[in-house]
Structure 1
Amino acid sequence: MYEQVRGLRYCGRMSAPRDLDYWSFVELAQERLNSKFGDHHRSATEVLLTLNRASDIVTYDLESSVHRPRGRSWSAYRLMFVIWLAGPIEPNVAARLTGMSRAAVSNLAKPLVEANILEKTPVSHDARSVQLSLTEAGEKEIVEAFGAQNERELAWVDVLSDAEQQILVILLNKLITNRSQFDVRGRN
């Protein structure tokens, strides 16, 4: 099945790491895990390896093709995007919505404030906190960045039909929500 779907080169014969591509590595990993652990949850391993790989590839592509040429990181874009759509917001809310730590939000906000992309204003209900909002320059930048990213997003998902896109979203939401059967660790 793997050979037909993914054109694997491994097929149980090759083990030199230099000869592996990602999918043949997954097949090799599954074989070796079977031999070391016997009856492990093969599908679970494959699903999570594939999910992580897809996330890494898409994130790297978006960052390197859209955001780095604009002088920003993927993390800076995520922060600006959340502030653009939900802001002005306090850093702890930005952290929750981006999935970052509060320290990461604080570290990202500093250079964005210095670059006149974000501004910090005191909040009335807590003298220790601030609200983050986009400046006019920040709003212009995020609108342009989102336009470029959205075109790239379309290029990525264009290989899927509308129905497949919706099924993927449904399955991913099912995977990440309502995880009460075990102690899920995450920022959100």
Structure 2
Amino acid sequence: MSGEPGDDREQLDYLSFVDYAVARTARELPDIDALAMRFVLTLHRATSALVYDLESSVHRPRGLTWPGFRLLFVLWLAGPAEAKRVAELTGMSRAAVSALVKTLEREGLVCRRQVAHDRRSVQLALTEVGRVAIADAFAAHNAREQDWVGVLSESEVVTLIGLLGKLMAGSARIAARRRS
């Protein structure tokens, strides 16, 4: 990639790279769908920035990781569940849940017990310490969520939620792969 007249690649940042990437790719591959590319890049970068901010400002100070928070959140709301169900609800692989549970169990946040009807399966549950930890973490998490959506009006938030829901529902049409 040689420099071009007026090339400001050195001035790019995380978000402005989207404009640059779309323009550059459209020049290199004129048949691409630039709008679809812009949407996916923007959505991915916004999601990554949001998750990083939540993890670094809310969860790490409480000794949690993003995956750890997600697992505790699912158990908090869905109650005790088999590990495979927790994997499904968190969007994590079973192997990731298994490894994470070992850490959360060691920290006294989660307990596991064999499932009576299937001795190969385990049921996961929050401990009382885990219940207190997730309630505290979620209160701070939600305050930060409010900071993030505060730049949008209520109707914009509702519209965006509807559009993202429509996008997720439409993923079945293209047989999008998901963790299971």
Same fold, judged at TM 0.5 (above): yes
The answer on 1:59 being equivalent to 2:51 is yes
C-alpha deviations, 1:133-164, integer Å up to 9, x for none?
Answer: 00010000000000000100011111111111
Distance 2:7 2:99 in 1: 43
* % identity of equivalent residues: 47
Letter in 1 for 2:32: H
Q: Which runs of 5+ in 2 are unaligned?
A: none
Distance 1:13 1:46 in 2: 24
Work out whether 1:17 is the aligned partner of 2:4: no
**SS class of match (2:38):** helix
1:23 Cα deviation after fit: 3.7
How many angstroms apart in 2 are the aligned matches of 1:165 and 1:74? 23
Match of 1:135 among 115, 124, 127: 127
CA spacing shift, 1:95–1:13, aligned 2, 3 Å = farther
Residues 34, 65 of structure 1: alpha-carbon distance in 2 compared, 3 angstrom cutoff: same
Q: 1:109 and 1:23 mapped to 2: Cα distance? A: 35
RMSD over aligned Cα, in angstroms?
A: 1.5
Q: In 1, Cα distance between the equivalents of 2:135 and 2:48?
A: 24
TM-score (norm 1): 0.89
Higher relative contact order (CA 8 A, sep 6+): 2
Give the drift of 1:13. 5.8
Q: Deviations over 1:91-139 (max 9, x none)?
A: 1000000000000000100011111110001211101111100001000
Task: Work out the CA distance in 2 between the residues paired with 1:27 and 1:81.
Answer: 36
| One-letter amino acid matched to 1:127 | R
After superposition, the Cα gap between the structure-2 partners of 1:133 and 1:154, relative to the gap in structure 1 and judged at 3 Å, is: same
Describe how 1:1-188 pairs up with structure 2 within 5 A: 14-187=6-179
Within 2, Cα distance between the matches of 1:45 and 1:118?
41
Q: Aligned partners of 2:13 and 2:26: how far apart in 1? A: 20
Tell whether the 8 Å contact from 2:55 to 2:65 is kept in structure 1 after alignment: yes
Change (3 A) 1:43 1:88: same
Shift >6 Å, 4+ stretches: none
Normalised to the residue count of structure 2, the TM-score between the two structures is 0.93
d(CA) in 1 for partners of 2:172 and 2:133?
40
* Contact 2:15–2:45 (8 Å) recurs in 1: no
Cα contact 2:83–2:97 (8 A) shared by 1: yes
Structure 1 stretches of 5 or more lacking a match?
Answer: 1-11
Aligned letter for 2:136?
A: E
**SS of alignment partner, residue 22 of structure 1:** coil
**Alpha-carbon distance between aligned partners in 2 of 1:148 and 1:179, rounded to the nearest angstrom:** 32
